Amino acid sequence: MNSDATIRTPAVTSRLPNVGTTIFTVMSALAAEHKAVNLGQGFPDFACDPTLVDAVTHAMQAGHNQYPPMTGVPVLRQAIAAKIEALHQHRYNADSEITITAGATQAIITAILAVVHPGDEVIVLEPCYDSYVPNIELAGGVVVRVPLTPGTFRPDFDKIAAAITPRTRALIINSPHNPSATIWSDVDMLKLQDLLTPTDVLLISDEVYEHMVFDGQQHQSVARFPALAARAFIVSSFGKTYHVTGWKVGYVAAPTSLTAEFRKVHQFNVFTVNTPVQYGLAQYMADPAPYENLTAFYQRKRDLFRQGLAQTRFKVLHTQGSYFQCVDISAVSDLGEADFCKWLTQEIGVAAIPLSAFYGNGFDQRVVRFCFAKKDETLFAALERLKKL
Ligand SMILES: Cc1ncc(COP(=O)(O)O)c(C=O)c1O
């Protein structure tokens, strides 16, 4: 029999010693504690289209409740292939080049685990989404951080070129960009194509905000650039497009040989993604209006929020895409970004995210991020408080 002294949990050496609770969780908890208006974490506070809920409900009632194929239900893969072709004139084979994933998060880590060997270098452009770096580390890869230009957040192709070595396995890009709300132009994409074409560098293109591109601009998907598409995993997420971040369903489009490697990892980490949501999404996608109208929907919210911010002492930065709005806090406070966000939550009652959270070295440029994927009344409530600053 075991005595208390022999019952113990063995110690482990952390695979991710630098990872703690994320700033998103910290700020959301602080927002809840102080009853702050939460413009921190990026998710809508309004309902999705009831037609989509009905489509998923019907799929369940119709008995679509057992394992789907490992790669995702064919009708959904076909709908995605048709949509990419209609929007970007690139035909992916629904059977061999598209895989349904548990959100973009699982798509990104799976792509990394599929192609990055220990010691391979992977370039990230900072500020970057918080999952990229730990994903690379879990694969045993070496993270190579290249900054986007402070102030404008534009890619610096000389710096990216200088970071490429014979050990570079992949580059991760993200447009529209979280957190800076910038987008890459066709000129940027052509420069990237010129840069990568002579190399064996793979591209992971995080396009989860693809349908939020403002002021008449066009989303420059990697799918539009054949020499990039030939080396890329394109990642997207239904969570952002259809206001259902909690459903965690996304997809990856990649050439057959890359998809084959992707699926080897996919089948042993999630195997597959819940069936009724896939059928519901496939049916809902038959109507392009919801994603076609998304830009107008969010552009109105962006403008409403920016008009309010113009009456504060924040310097309001450009928002070209995504549902984020960054502001420079220099004229409002002497605090660093993280302390300012905590203070803003506790004392003013509005939660925001410091951009320093998206840099490995905590680089502080006095800029914080608000999320405007919120009901108008939520935005007005936040603005009312921010105007007091
Ligand atoms: C840039 C970026 N990539 C990926 C994700 C994760 O998407 P999903 O919820 O589909 O996993 C997010 C979510 O905030 C994001 O902002």
CA of 235 to the centre of ligand 1 (A): 10
Whose C-alpha lies nearest to ligand 1, atom 14?
Answer: 42
Token pair for residue 308? 């309010």
> Is 173 within 8 Å of 220 (Cβ atoms)?
no
**CB neighbours of 65 closer than 8 A, spacing ≥ 6?**
275, 276
**Which residue among 112, 204, 240 is best mutated to probe the pocket of ligand 1, counting the most ligand atoms within 8 A of its Cβ?**
240
Please write the tens of the pLDDT for every residue from 163-174.
999 999 999 999
Query: Is the pLDDT reported for residue 379 higher than 90?
Result: yes
Kindly state the greatest CA–CA separation across the chain: 72
Please write the tens of the pLDDT for every residue from 198-255.
999 999 999 999 999 999 999 999 999 999 999 999 999 999 999 999 999 999 999 9
Mean pLDDT, range 281-291, rounded to an integer: 98
Q: Which of 162, 129, 165 is nearest to 360 (CA)?
A: 129
- pLDDT for the residue 2: 62
Please write the tens of the pLDDT for every residue from 291-309.
999 999 999 999 999 999 9
Q: Which H or E element spans position 270?
A: none
Ligand 1 atom at shortest distance from the alpha carbon of 240: 10
- pLDDT for the residue 20: 85
CA of 323 to the centre of ligand 1 (A): 12
Query: Is the pLDDT reported for residue 130 higher than 70?
Result: yes
- pLDDT for the residue 322: 98
Query: Is the pLDDT reported for residue 25 higher than 90?
Result: no
**CB neighbours of 385 closer than 8 A, spacing ≥ 6?**
37, 348, 349, 350
> Is 59 within 8 Å of 275 (Cβ atoms)?
yes
Q: Which H or E element spans position 324?
A: strand 324-328
Amino acid identity, residue 324? Answer: F
213: which DSSP letter? B
Query: Is the pLDDT reported for residue 387 higher than 80?
Result: yes
- pLDDT for the residue 83: 98
Residue list, ligand 1 pocket, CB within 6 Å: 42, 103-105, 129, 174, 178, 206, 208, 237, 239, 245, 248, 250
CA dihedral 212, 86, 111, 250 (to 10 degrees): 60
Q: Using 50, 70 and 90 to split pLDDT, how confident is the model at 1?
A: low
Ligand 1 atom at shortest distance from the alpha carbon of 102: 11
145: which DSSP letter? E
Mean pLDDT, range 95-106, rounded to an integer: 98
Please, what is the average pLDDT of the chain? 97
Q: Using 50, 70 and 90 to split pLDDT, how confident is the model at 21?
A: confident
Mean pLDDT, range 345-363, rounded to an integer: 96
CA of 104 to the centre of ligand 1 (A): 5
Burial 108-147 (b: 16+ CB within 10 A, else e): bbbbbbbbbeeebbbbbbbbbbbbbbbbbbebebbbbbbe
Q: Using 50, 70 and 90 to split pLDDT, how confident is the model at 285?
A: very high
CA of 374 to the centre of ligand 1 (A): 17
**Which residue among 183, 237, 355, 358 is best mutated to probe the pocket of ligand 1, counting the most ligand atoms within 8 A of its Cβ?**
237
CA dihedral 183, 130, 368, 26 (to 10 degrees): 150
How far is residue 156's CA from residue 269's CA, in Å, rounded to a whole number? 35
